[in-house]
Amino acid sequence: MRHGETFWNREGRIQGHTESDLTPLGERQARAMAGLVADLVRHEGGRFRLVSSPIGRARMTAAMVAEATGLPIEIDARLAEICCGEWEGRLRSEIAHIHPEMFKTREWFFGAPGAETFEDVSARASDWLGSLPPESERRVIAVSHGVWGRLARGVYAGLDRQATLGQDVPQDAVYRLRGGLVDRFDCEPIAP
């Protein structure tokens, strides 16, 4: 699952590794996702782990999941969002004005000076997925970010680059990866 909406999401700022707090809407989204995850945990049964990116917005969302499920939070740096280099903190519209050709696709995430590449983030996601127990024993809740989530789902499902980047990154839905398939569970609509 992705963290709830942040103030920088709302402003259209590029976040990457930079901190931005959840908005009131983001807190409601996080609570809704936490409730959905708690229902799924109860339905699935078994022992679960809760793992979060070290970045604050993901940790805040994970704290709500921990409250709803009673699970302790583990932090794993491999779940961190893409580093956007020199563009972190800048408005997307500002960068799009300077580099309009990049913003025609979702490849722009990888275009900033000092940014991680598609391969860098995919390798982190692949390493994390590969470190998990066999799927038959796996019960892990991951709280992360938009780009990381896209790439992790793409790695898991064996998608090509274009299909991976074309995936949605909602802040009010949870994905389940099981049996080579990716299922999406949407929360109840949340008023802005």
Residues with a catalytic annotation lie at 3, 81
With a pLDDT cut of 90, the percent of the chain lying above it is 84
Q: 46 pLDDT exceeds 90? A: no
Q: Return all residues near 32 (Cβ < 8 A) that are at least 6 apart.
A: 172, 187, 188, 190
Assess whether pLDDT exceeds 80 at residue 180: yes
Please, where are the H alpha helices in 12-145? 24-44, 56-69, 92-98, 118-131
Return the higher-pLDDT residue of 16 and 45: 16
The pLDDT value recorded for residue 61 is: 98
In sign, the C-alpha dihedral spanning 57, 58, 59, 64 is: positive
In whole angstroms, what is the distance from residue 9 CA to residue 5 CA? 6
Tell me the pLDDT of the chain averaged across its residues.
94
* Residue 88 pLDDT > 90: yes
